[in-house]
Amino acid sequence: MPPRLLLTQHLNLGLSQHEVDFVDININGDTPLFLDPYFIGLRTDAWSVSASRTVRDFFKRFIDLIRSNREREAFDLFSHLNEPNETRLGLSRGLPQGRGVGSGDSEKIFDSLKQSRAVQTGIVEDLEDCRLFVEGIDKDKTSDMMTNIIRKHLLDYTQAQCRNYGIPLTQAPTGFMWIVTGHQWESNFDECLMVNGQKILLVPKAVVSFSEVYTPRRYHQHFILNFLQHEHLRLGTALVEQRKLKNGEVKRFVTKKRLSNTVAPPSKEFITQFTSDHPEVFEKFKAESLQIPNSIQNDELGNSQTAKVAEHLLKELVETPPGEENASRFHKIIAAVLELLFYPHLITPEIEVKLHDGRKRIDIVYDNAAAEGFFLSCINSMKPHLNLSLLNAKITVPTPETLN
C-alpha cells in the first residue's frame, strides 16, 4: 500500500486542513467521507443549494422516465453514473478504486431501481431515498452517483480554489456533467487539476459527512421497530414477554431483536412494504431527521493542532512586509486566518475576485453558511456594513498598503 500523502503536501502549499476550505485528501487512497444528498439538501449556503437543485433535477428526470416505462431513455441517463475517482472519497482500500455504478453492476442496480416497488409507488422521491429502499445502493454508491451529477459544481469549485493558491490547471476532458438548463449530460474540455496524470476534483469540507443520519438502519431500528413494539404491546400478541420486577409489578415488553428475527427483518423489501402500509412512520422519520446539519470539524479531518496553526499564521503575518507587492501573499494568509476562525460559518472562499472587467476587485469573498450565531443574525438583520446578501457573505480585507 502506498504511503499516505495529503494533497496540500503534494502541491507544496504549506497549509494544513485548518487553513484550506477543501478536504485535504490522501492522493494515494480514499478518505472515508461522503457526499450525502440528504445532508447537502438541508444546507442553505449557495453552493449546496445549487448542487442540490442539480441532483433533484436529474433524479426527477430519471424517475419520470422509469414511471413512464421509457426504460431505454432512463438507462441512457443512468449509464453516465460511472465510477468516479476524482474526489478520493469513499471506502476503497489502497489505491483509489471507486465504488460507484460501474459497468459491472450498472444493469443490476438499474434493474433494482426499475423493479423497486418504492420507486413505482412514489415512496422514493429523492436520490437519498434510494439508500433506504433500493437493493444494491448504499452510502458509497449514492455519494458516487452524486459526484457524477454535480461534477460541474465540483469543477467550478476546484478551479476557484486553484486560482486562490496559484495551482496550475491543465486542459482535459471534464467527464459527463448534468446540466440543469438542458436537462441533459454534457462533456467538455476545460481547465482541470491533474495530479500524477489523474484528474482531481476538490470538495468543500463543509459539505462532506459520515452519512449517518438518513440511513436504513436508523429508520428500521429507531422508527419501524419502535412503532411495532407499541403495536404488539397494544394488541397483546405472542411476541409480548413479561418480567416480574422487585417491587412485585409485572413489566410487559417486546424486544427489538425478537421483532427483527421474526416479523420485521431489516431488509429493504420489508422496509418498503412497511412504509407503504405505514407512511406516517416514514414521515416522522423524515421530520425528525430534518435539521440544519453540523459540518465536520477540522479536528475530525486532520491531525493539525489549532494552537500550532494559529502560532504559525501569526508568524506569517508578522513577517509579511507592507506594500502592494505583498498584497497577494497577505490575502492568502488572511484567508487562512479566516478559515481557522470562522469555518464552518463562512465557506468556499475566493481571493481577489475581479468585478466589472477587472476595474474593481473584492479581496476575499465567502459564502455565508451559518446555521447559528453571529453570521446567521447578520443574514436575518441584513447588516449593511458586512455587505451580506441572503446566501453570500462578502468581506473585503484591507491590503498591506492600507495598514501602514
**pLDDT reported for residue 380:** 59
Q: Give the model's confidence band at 378: pLDDT under 50 very low, under 70 low, under 90 confident, else very high.
A: low
Q: Summarize pLDDT for 277-301 with one digit per residue, the tens.
A: 999 999 999 999 987 678 998 888 8
**pLDDT reported for residue 384:** 36
Residue carrying the nine cell digits 441584513: 382
Q: Summarize pLDDT for 329-368 with one digit per residue, the tens.
A: 898 999 999 999 999 999 999 988 877 776 778 888 888 8
Q: At residue 119, what is the residue type?
A: V
Q: Give the model's confidence band at 104: pLDDT under 50 very low, under 70 low, under 90 confident, else very high.
A: low
DSSP per position, 258-318? HHHHHT--S-HHHHHHHHHH-HHHHHHHHHHH-SPPPPPPHHHH----HHHHHHHHHHHHH
Q: Summarize pLDDT for 247-265 with one digit per residue, the tens.
A: 889 999 999 999 999 999 9
Q: Summarize pLDDT for 77-94 with one digit per residue, the tens.
A: 999 998 888 999 997 644
pTM for this structure?
Answer: 0.88
> To 10 degrees, the CA torsion angle through 390, 49, 16, 88?
-170
Helix (H, G, I), strand (E, B) or coil at 128: helix
Q: What average pLDDT does the chain have?
A: 88
In this structure, which long-range contacts are made by residues 383-390, counting pairs with CB atoms below 8 Å and at least 24 apart in sequence?
none
What is the percentage of the chain residues whose pLDDT exceeds 70?
88
Q: Taking a C-beta distance cutoff of 8 angstroms, is the pair 144, 90 a contact?
A: yes
- Structure-model confidence comparison of residues 157 and 345, the more confident one: 157
- The residues spanned by each domain of the chain are 7-207, 216-289, 305-403
Mean pLDDT of 163-175: 96
Whether 105 has a pLDDT exceeding 70, the answer reads no
User: Among 182-191, 298-307, 348-357, 395-404, which is the least confidently predicted range?
Assistant: 395-404
Q: Where would I find the H helices in 87-224?
A: 106-115, 117-121, 127-133, 139-149, 151-165, 216-219
* CA nearest to 81, candidates 33, 115, 23, 130: 130
Q: Quick one: DSSP state of residue 58?
A: H
Taking the C-alpha atoms of residue 180 and residue 58, their distance in angstroms, rounded to an integer, is: 8
Whether 388 has a pLDDT exceeding 50, the answer reads no
Q: Summarize pLDDT for 310-340 with one digit per residue, the tens.
A: 999 999 999 999 888 888 889 899 999 999 9
